[in-house]
Every structure is written in C-alpha cells, then in structure tokens.
Amino acid sequence: MKKIAIIGSGLSGLILAHQLQDIAEVTVFEKARGVGGRLATRYACEFEFDHGAQYFTIESQAFQEFIQPLREQGVVKIWNARFIEFEGVDICQRKHWSQHQPHYVAVPKMNSMAKYLAEDMKVELKIKIDKLIPQDNLWMLQDHTLQLHGPFDWVLSTAPWPQTKHLFPKNIAFNLTPMQACYALMLGFNKPLHLDWDVASIRNTCLGWISVNSSKPGRGDSQSLVVLSTNDWADAHLDADKEWVISKMLKELHHYVHLSPIHVDLHCWRYAKSINLTEEHIYLNQSLRLGACGDWSIGGRVECAFLAGMQLAKQLMELIVE
C-alpha cells in the first residue's frame, strides 16, 4: 500500500485520512497536544472554552450526509441560541436560532467531533513538521527536534497555506490573498452571567463576537465566555503585548457584560480567515506527490474544510487506484 503523510489534524486532515485509509497507510502529524485544529477546546479548572470554531451550519448534501450519523450518535447537536446583534452598543436585531436554520456544535466539546473522527487512525501528536526531504522518489519528514519520519509516497498538508508554502518546494505557487488573524479571549466567572442572549455579533468595535460557551448543549454549569476580536483589529495589533490585548478587549467587553471574570486567557489564531477568496484552491502535484487543502481552499467555514478534504481525497484516489 502507498504510504501517505497528512500534516494537520483539523477537519480537512481528518477527512483526508478517513477517505484514504482503506487504500493507503496513512499517518497524521499534529503539532498540538490534541486533534481538531480550529475545532478546538481549551480547559482551565472547571471551565471549558470552544475558542476556535463557534458552531457550524450545513449547506451541501455531502456535509449533511456526513453529519447525520454523528447526530444520531449524539456527537453533534443543534444549538438553539438566543442571538443578538449590536451596532456599537445599540441593539439592532434579536432572534432565536431555529430548527429551520440550524446551527450545530459538537458535544460535549467542539473538539469532540475531531476526537470521534480520529479514533482508530494513526495520529502523531506534538510533532511539528519543519522540513520535507526528498529521498529516492519518496519523502522524509523532519520535525522540530530534527527527527526524521518516513519514507512516504505522498505528503498532504492541511496547515494554513502560508505555513504550507513555507514547507513545500518553492516551485509550488500559492497565489492566494493573505489570511487574517483573530484573537480569542477566554473568560470564566464564578457567578451567573444573567444575560438575555447567548450569542452576540458586534459591529464597529474591536470585538466581533461574544458567545456564552456554557449555553451550548452538554457544556455543564460553569459560566464561561468566548470573545473574538475582529480580523482587522487582530491584524493591526498582531504583535502587541498579550496583556495589552487582553486589557483592550476586556474594556470593550464591559459595554456588554458587567461581571468581572475570575479566569482570563488569550489565544491568537494567526491564520484565521482567508480574505477575498474568489475561487477554490485544491493543490495536487502528481510529479512531486504533494497536495494541500484546508478551509482556506474554499471559504473558511467548517463545511468548507470538510469539502476541501473530500475533494483532495477524491482527486488523489483517482491517481492511486489507477
């Protein structure tokens, strides 16, 4: 069987591994401590924070068919959140997310879907691949400790395209627009929040999104908030001091939430969103035996990551099975 290395265990990487595991020996390399990519959950004392993807929706039949068995097994549930939209501090819209336009989350944590998909897969955690080394028409992978892995017939990267571009040979062109950053502020409280909304979308401030993480199904009783900055503000302050970023976001948050948190943490997603994406970008180079995809290939949504993984897997299977 062909040996395939997949870099990144976000949804695109896991879908690739799932689709290819019957026709190849697949190994997934992940630099983090757990699988999921932006299907991410962070833990602190009694608090949990889905600090990456907040939810997902379904538009395509393929994604609907993929999600249905996960719903039947309780891995995915509908989040009927109370939604509010602010223009600055002024309320301009209120509504309930309904069954007619369902918003989904993984249960009991956002990374539960990734963990479910990674079962029975060969996943190497806490290994950051820094270099690809050609060897006798195959690839060796060198990690951050200079250890070598391989050889592999194919290498597929689902890391953000700027990181993939750095890893791949220079003759593979990634002519995409820049990716924008996002700060995720994670807050835990020892008192009930008593908000009349679960999700807030905000315009014209440094904040773009607030969600009561504990309002999602299966999350327990701890009071936790996830606050996301706008992409433009994160880009403008990407190299700012962490404590300064926290103080600025907390000051703005006080317009909407008046309690003081007992736990504060911050994460920066340096490659959170592709801007001005006008066409699909699925990369597959047969002569070099390299491929790449991710949510950046199609549109940034969770479903886009799924569709990108499916498309690259389909193209590669057509080559391997010939």
Q: Where are the domains of the chain?
A: 2-320
Residue 276 clears pLDDT 80, i.e. is over it? no
Average pLDDT in the chain:
95
Instruction: Give the CATH number of domain 2-320; options: 1.10.1660.10, 3.50.50.60, 1.10.260.40, 3.40.50.2000.
Output: 3.50.50.60
Residue tagged 């944590």 (tokens): 109
Strand order, beta sheet including 148-152: 129-135, 138-143, 148-152
The residues, any chain, with a CB within 8 Å of residue 258's CB and separated by 6 or more, are: none
Q: What is the mean pLDDT of residues 12-30?
A: 97
The residues, any chain, with a CB within 8 Å of residue 253's CB and separated by 6 or more, are: 185, 187, 207, 210, 227
CA-to-CA dists, residue 7 to 100, 174, 254, 273, angstroms: 37, 17, 40, 19
Torsion angle of C-alpha atoms 217, 220, 222, 228, degrees rounded to 10: -30
Phi-psi group of 170: left, alpha or beta (phi > 0 → left; psi -120 to 50 → alpha; rest → beta): alpha
CA 25 to chain centre: 25
- Per 3-state DSSP, the chain is made up of helix, strand and coil in percentages (nearest 5) of 25, 35, 40
Model pLDDT, residue 176: 80
Residue 278 clears pLDDT 70, i.e. is over it? no
More confident residue, 220 or 125: 125
pLDDT digits (tens, 9 = 90+) for 75-90: 999 999 999 999 999 9
Q: Please, which pLDDT band fits residue 19 given cuts at 50, 70 and 90?
A: very high
Q: What is the mean pLDDT of residues 88-93?
A: 94
Query: Residue 107 is which amino acid?
Result: V
**Which helix H or strand E contains 83, and what residues bound it?**
strand 82-87
Q: What is the mean pLDDT of residues 185-211?
A: 96
Q: Please, which pLDDT band fits residue 221 given cuts at 50, 70 and 90?
A: confident
Residue 143 clears pLDDT 80, i.e. is over it? yes
Task: Centre a 10 Å sphere on the Cβ of residue 125 and count the other Cβ atoms it contains.
Answer: 14
Cβ neighbourhood burial of 237 (10 Å; 0-12, 13-18, 19+): middle
Residues 125 and 8: beta-carbon distance below 8 Å: no
Cβ neighbourhood burial of 264 (10 Å; 0-12, 13-18, 19+): middle
Beta bridge partners of 268: 183
Q: Please, which pLDDT band fits residue 322 given cuts at 50, 70 and 90?
A: low
More confident residue, 171 or 138: 138
CA-to-CA dists, residue 316 to 131, 194, 289, angstroms: 22, 51, 9
Measure CA of the first residue to CA of the last residue in the chain; give whole Å: 13
Residue 299 clears pLDDT 90, i.e. is over it? no
More confident residue, 299 or 10: 10
pTM value is: 0.94
Helix axes 11-20, 302-320, angle to 10 degrees: 30
The C-alpha atoms of residue 1 and residue 9 are separated, in whole angstroms, by: 22
The C-alpha atoms of residue 318 and residue 291 are separated, in whole angstroms, by: 14
Model pLDDT, residue 74: 97
Q: What is the mean pLDDT of residues 113-135?
A: 97
Model pLDDT, residue 288: 95
Residue 258 clears pLDDT 80, i.e. is over it? yes
CA-to-CA dists, residue 105 to 68, 153, 201, 275, angstroms: 13, 36, 18, 25
Give, as one character, the DSSP assignment of residue 59: -
Q: What is the mean pLDDT of residues 269-288?
A: 88
pLDDT digits (tens, 9 = 90+) for 162-193: 999 999 998 888 878 889 999 999 999 999 99
Model pLDDT, residue 228: 98
The C-alpha atoms of residue 215 and residue 81 are separated, in whole angstroms, by: 8
More confident residue, 45 or 114: 114
pLDDT digits (tens, 9 = 90+) for 311-321: 999 999 999 87
Model pLDDT, residue 321: 78
Helix axes 302-320, 61-72, angle to 10 degrees: 110
Q: Tell me the DSSP string of 263-322.
A: EEEEEEEEEEEE-S--S---EEETTTTEEE--GGGTTSSHHHHHHHHHHHHHHHHHHH--
